[in-house]
């Protein structure tokens, strides 16, 4: 029993890293841009669907991943336009795109499920070769974090950070906040689609409902990551490592409760409850555990 559990951990780590990459996408919108973007439930599947259908039709896996990335970028771009150009609140804009993507994903695959067996196709990673998968994922994670660390240190990246921090100040400093929001949403969903493409390869199929509740898992990873790392360092690269670690921890816990005999049907509910609780903590701290401070004056 214990050995079984131990044997399942590498697989959990691989899945955790894939969802950790997805959670980095969530981090970009939720933490950096200060927007809760629900597009991700659809765009993770779009990434998986595009990758699966292209590879099964004989396209090289690298090219398939690139096109999956572009599809995700487009999905985020649509949400961005709904939000800025059409003035729809971000949450609703994400839900609308997510719904559109449900149909689009079905059309991409032509059916609800496409098998992508690693025995038949030349894939980057697969469940049956966990060592290779872990190495590929570790390299992907490092590359992604280095790239994002660089990007958010550029003038353009700093303007996205400023937008999420203070819209008013950003406009006063000449930042086109509509543009930076669209850019952030686009980038985020590109990363999420990439994780979907990795997930489809790893699990050996793409499924139209593979993204259901993805935002909750992403948020869980972000929250766990913050809890683990935020005391150690404020550095963005370290925080992103924390987010991926959050994904891995999430899957370790997930694997453990399954081994303890928990009904798998209840897992989504438990994830949601845990996320709700952790989202409530900062609010509770502010409302119930801080002493009243007098006046509106600033010293």
C-beta closer to another protein: residue 97 or 170: 170
C-beta closer to another protein: residue 119 or 298: 298
Supply the Cα-derived Rg of the chain in whole angstroms.
Answer: 20
Based on the shown chain and the rule CB under 8 A, indicate whether residue 147 belongs to the binding site for another protein. no
Whether 220 and 30 have beta carbons less than 8 Å apart is answered as: no
Based on the shown chain and the rule CB under 8 A, indicate whether residue 57 belongs to the binding site for another protein. no
Structure tokens at 101: 């993507």
> What's the closest the beta carbon of residue 180 comes to another protein, in angstroms?
9
Based on the shown chain and the rule CB under 8 A, indicate whether residue 230 belongs to the binding site for another protein. no
Q: Which residues contact residue 123 at a Cβ distance below 8 angstroms, ignoring those fewer than 6 apart?
A: 55, 61, 116, 201
Instruction: Return the half-sphere exposure (C-beta side, CA atoms, 13 A cut-off) of residue 189.
Output: 32
C-beta closer to another protein: residue 1 or 299: 299
C-beta closer to another protein: residue 151 or 205: 151
Tokens 């958010």 — which residue?
A: 152
Interaction mask 160-189, another protein, x per CB under 8 A: -xx--xx-xxxxxxxxxx------------
> What's the closest the beta carbon of residue 240 comes to another protein, in angstroms?
16
Following CA atoms 196, 199, 205, 209 in sequence, which dihedral angle do they give, to the nearest 10 degrees? -50
DSSP letter for each residue of 156-175: HHHHHHHHHH-HHHHHHTT-
C-beta closer to another protein: residue 180 or 201: 180
Q: Which positions touch another protein (CB under 8 A)?
A: 151, 153-159, 161-162, 165-166, 168-177, 296-299
């Amino acid at each position: 029993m214990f050995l079984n559990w131990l044997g399942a951990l590498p697989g959990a780590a691989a899945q955790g890293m894939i969802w950790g990459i997805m959670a980095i996408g969530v981090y970009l919108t939720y933490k950096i841009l200060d927007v809760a973007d629900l597009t991700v439930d659809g765009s993770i599947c779009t990434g998986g669907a595009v990758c699966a259908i292209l590879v099964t039709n004989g396209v090289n896996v690298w090219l398939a991943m690139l096109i999956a990335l572009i599809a995700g970028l487009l999905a985020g771009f649509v949400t961005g336009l709904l939000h800025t150009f059409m003035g729809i609140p971000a949450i609703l804009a994400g839900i609308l795109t997510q719904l559109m993507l449900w149909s689009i994903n079905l059309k991409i695959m032509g059916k609800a499920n496409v098998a992508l067996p690693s025995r038949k196709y030349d894939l980057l990673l697969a469940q049956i070769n966990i060592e290779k998968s872990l190495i590929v994922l570790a390299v992907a994670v490092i590359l992604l974090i280095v790239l994002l660390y660089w990007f958010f240190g550029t003038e353009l990246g700093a303007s996205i950070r400023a937008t999420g921090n203070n819209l008013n100040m950003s406009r006063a400093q000449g930042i086109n906040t509509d543009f930076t929001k669209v850019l952030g949403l686009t980038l985020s969903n590109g990363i999420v689609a990439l994780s979907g493409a990795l997930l489809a390869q790893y699990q050996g199929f793409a499924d139209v409902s593979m993204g259901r509740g993805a935002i909750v898992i992403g948020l869980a990873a972000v929250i766990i990551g913050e809890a683990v790392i935020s005391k150690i360092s404020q550095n963005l690269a370290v925080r992103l490592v924390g987010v991926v670690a959050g994904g891995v921890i999430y899957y370790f816990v997930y694997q453990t409760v399954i081994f303890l005999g928990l009904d798998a049907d209840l897992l989504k509910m438990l994830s949601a409850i845990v996320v709700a609780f952790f989202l409530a903590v900062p609010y509770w701290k502010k409302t119930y555990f801080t002493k009243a401070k007098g006046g509106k004056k600033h010293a």
